[in-house]
Amino acid sequence: MQTHRTLWFLVAVLTAVVLAQPALAGQLAEDSFSISFPVYASGGSGFSGPWTVGGFNAFSAGYTQRVKSLCYPRLDTSGGSVSGDAFGAINGTVRNLAQTLGAPNTTAYVSFLIQARGTLNDGVFNGFFGLTLNGSAGNDLFIGKPGGGALDQYVIENRGGANQIPSGLKVKVGKTELLVLKAQFMAGNDVFTLYTNPAVGKPEPTSNVVKTDVDLGTVSKIGIYSTGAFVIDEIRIGTTFADVLPIRSHGGDDDDFPGCSGDHD
């Protein structure tokens, strides 16, 4: 009996270790939302716990899982995505990273697919939606469609809207966009560069969308944060540009593959 218990314990430990490991050698974390979501779901890799309700002034997480992935040319996807409606209150969900970010003189990359839905600017605070990097001392970075300022563009800004840097990429309902953030962590203010719709499988491009006025400190979690209608998918964190843009192993058009939806679905 004791032997059986020991074996079951070892299996459980090994399973937890495997689930915590990144899918790629240089990939720190990923979630493609291929299993149930949102709150208390624990799919993907590189996290130390499940998604939970969280984010500044967020007291609910009314998100739902979609069967289909968002699609982007040549980008690997694995089925599933997450959507949120236009809400009358802030919604948010956060997840702790297994490996924190933010040590001085280190660089991390964050990528995700995002698509506006419904009617643009619907929802309280002009219907914002996007991803947050949640730092220490209350400093968070927001990447997505804002609730103020350049309402028609994707931006990087302090969570709450301060020190906004517009990307120039217009937010279009039903159009899937690929956003990639390069985070260069410094002893003081960090350097954040946003790439919009870069080519998968190509070298890292250049961008003049750079934010240098915030020190995130230690980033221990990421968050989905919104009041507007949107879909998000394929969140990846890595140490290089290529880590967060894995190439799809099969050829053909996006719409040729089951479980993958194009710009309009």
Judge contact between 260 and 33, C-beta under 8 A.
no
pLDDT at 257 over 60: no
**91: pLDDT confidence band, cut at 50, 70 and 90?**
very high
pLDDT of the residue at 29 = 97
Read off the pTM.
Answer: 0.87
pLDDT of the residue at 17 = 37
Domain with 225 in it: what CATH number? 2.60.120.560
pLDDT of the residue at 256 = 43
Q: pLDDT tens digit string along 162-184?
A: 999 999 999 999 999 999 999 99
Domain count, the chain: 1
For residues 187-212, average pLDDT = 97
Which residue range forms the structural domain that includes residue 103?
Answer: 2-261
Q: pLDDT tens digit string along 102-161?
A: 999 999 999 999 999 999 999 999 999 999 999 997 789 999 999 999 999 999 999 999
